[in-house]
Amino acid sequence: MEHFYWFALKSIPQVGNVTFRRLLEQFGSPARALAASASELAGIKGVSVAVAAAIGSHDYRPAAERECELLGRSGARIVTLLDADYPRPLLEIPDPPPYLYVKGSLTGLEPAVAVVGSRRASSYGLLATRRLAGDLAAHGITVVSGMARGVDTAAHRGALSGGGRSIGVLGCGVDVVYPPENRELFAAMAEKGGLVSEFPLGTLPLAENSPRRNRIISGICRGVLVVEAEERSGSLITAQYALEQGREVFAIPGNITCSSSRGTNRLIKQGAKLVETVDDILEELPQRGDTRGLTETAPAFELTHQEAAIFTILAAAPHHIDDIIVKSSLTVGDVSAILLRLELKGAVQQLPGKLFALV
C-alpha cells in the first residue's frame, strides 16, 4: 500500500498531471493534499472551487485499492516524481506524469536518444535503424522507442544486440504485451533495460493513447531520430513534441519516390539534422554517452566545505531534502540555507516535491 495515496489523488477526474504536481509542491505528499481543507486548496494556482470540492468528496479508495492489488501481482513497480531514478529530463516537460509504472531499471538512463519511425518500415529503414541503434548503444547511449512494430522493434533489438540499454515507452499498461509477437522482446527489455508507462495497469493499446505516449518518448530523451515517416504519422508528432521540449531532432534521408520518406525529408527541409552515421547524432548531444573512466569536471564556482559536501551528494542523483539532511548530518536550517546559496550560484535547481538536482 506504499503508493496508495498516489493512486488515490490521480484517480480524481479533475486532477491532471499539472494540478497533481502543484499539489505535491504545496503539500509535499499526496496524502497531505487529500487531507487539505478547502481553504488550503483555494490558494493553489489552478485549483478551482470545483477541483477543491472533488478532492474533498471523491471516493478514491476503490480505485486506489484496486491499483495496489494489480501492482502487487504485475511484477512492476512505481517510480514517482520524488524518486531519484525518475528520469530527470522528464521533469523539464510541462506535464510530467506524477509517477511511472516500470518493469526493469531506469538507473543510468542518461543520455538517451529516441529512435522512431514507421510500423511498415522498408528493409532499408529497418537496416538503418538496427545499425544506428547498435552504434548508439556501443557509445553508451540509451535507445528509447515505443515497442511498436517496424522501426520501434528494430531499434530495441539493435540496441540490445549491441550490448546496450533500451527503454520501451508503452501506450498501454506495462502488464499488457503488444504487439503479441514481441513477447520475447518484452522479457528481454525488462531484464536488460526497462519498460515504462504512465497508463494504469491493464490499459489496452488504444490509438488515442499514442500522443500521450509520444510526449514521454521525447521527454525522456535529449534527441529524437526519425527513420521513416509518412507526412501524417505518430513519428512526426513525437518530433513536434521534441521541438516543443527543446530536444534535438534528427532524420534519416529517404528515397524521394517512397511515401514513407516524405515526412523525414520534410523534417530535414525544416531544419532537422540529416543523419548518415552515429557521429552526426553524438556531436549534438549535451554529453557524450561513453564517459566511463573519465573524471568529472569540477564545478566552475567556489564552494564552502559544507556546500561541496551537498554538491557531492547531488552529483550522484537528485535527492529529496530529507535525504540530503540525513546524508550530510547537517541541521534542517543549515541544509535549507546551503541549498538556497547553491541555487543562487546556479549550481542546484529545485524540482517538484522538495527534490533537488544539479543544474
Coil, helix or strand for 89? helix
Predicted pLDDT of residue 303 = 74
Predicted pLDDT of residue 297 = 40
Handedness of CA 149, 150, 155, 158 (dihedral sign): positive
Coil, helix or strand for 265? helix
Q: Peptide bond preceding 111: is omega within 30 degrees of 0, i.e. cis?
A: yes
Which secondary-structure segment (H or E) carries 79? strand 77-80
Predicted pLDDT of residue 299 = 52
Q: How deeply is 136 buried, as exposed, middle or buried, from its count of CB atoms within 10 A (0-12, 13-18, 19+)? A: buried
Q: What CA–CA distance (Å, rounded) separates 73 from 140?
A: 33
Q: What CA–CA distance (Å, rounded) separates 151 from 170?
A: 15
pLDDT per residue rounded down to tens, the chain (359 residues): 679 999 999 999 989 999 999 998 888 899 999 999 998 998 888 899 999 999 999 999 999 999 999 999 999 999 998 888 899 899 889 899 999 999 999 988 889 999 999 999 899 999 999 999 999 999 999 999 999 999 999 999 999 998 899 999 999 999 999 999 999 999 999 998 999 999 999 999 999 999 999 999 999 999 999 999 888 888 999 999 999 999 999 999 988 878 878 889 999 999 999 999 999 999 998 654 343 333 344 455 567 778 888 988 888 778 899 889 988 888 888 888 889 888 877 788 888 778 888 87
Angstrom CA distances, 45 to 14, 15, 25, 42, stand at: 14, 13, 11, 8
Domains and CATH numbers, the chain: 1-73 (1.10.150.20), 104-282 (3.40.50.450), 305-358 (1.10.10.10)
Predicted pLDDT of residue 298 = 44
Coil, helix or strand for 325? helix
Query: What is the phi/psi pair of residue 116, to 5°?
Result: -135, 160
Within 158-240, strands assigned E span: 166-169, 194-197, 223-226
Provide the edge-to-edge strand list for the sheet that holds 223-226: 77-80, 99-104, 194-197, 166-169, 142-145, 112-116, 223-226, 248-251, 273-274
Q: Which residues, 6+ apart, have CB-to-CB distance to 42 below 8 Å?
A: 49, 52
Predicted pLDDT of residue 159 = 96
Q: What CA–CA distance (Å, rounded) separates 341 from 109?
A: 29
